[in-house]
Amino acid sequence: MNKPVNDAPVSVALPPSAVADLARRVGAGEFGSLDEAVTAALLELEHFRAVELAGGEAAFRTLAERVEADPDAQVGEVDAFAFLHDLKEEYRKLADAREGRG
């Protein structure tokens, strides 16, 4: 289910090297703003967690192919956090079912 994200101000302390790297990447045009760069980093972290939870890249891809898109969502728009949450929940259900058989 796609839900609008309500922006909320958040303060985060980052090491100077991380700030410099993000600023460099924004300056190079990789991201439009520091907010966009930090959001991309958080999405990447969620992806790595989902892959680990799924049991590796191959298992993650298999599960990702099984997740159905919300029929009410606009074509081309995906809430990445919701997608990864749904994917992790699907894996948890499969893991629980396997444990019940074992």
- pLDDT tens for each residue of 75-86: 556 677 777 788
Torsion of CA 16, 17, 19, 21, to 10 degrees: 160
- Concatenate the DSSP letters of all residues of 14-40 into one string: --HHHHHHHHHHHHTTSSSSHHHHHHH
pTM of the model: 0.52
CB within 8 Å of 85: residues ≥ 6 apart? none
* Residue 1's pLDDT band (cuts 50, 70, 90): very low
Per-residue buried b or exposed e for 9-47, using 16+ beta carbons within 10 Å of the residue's own CB? eeeeeeeeeeeeebeebbeeeebeeeeebbeeeeeeebe
pLDDT category, 28, cuts 50, 70, 90? very high
- What would the pLDDT profile of 45-66 be if each residue is shown by its tens digit? 888 888 887 788 888 777 777 7
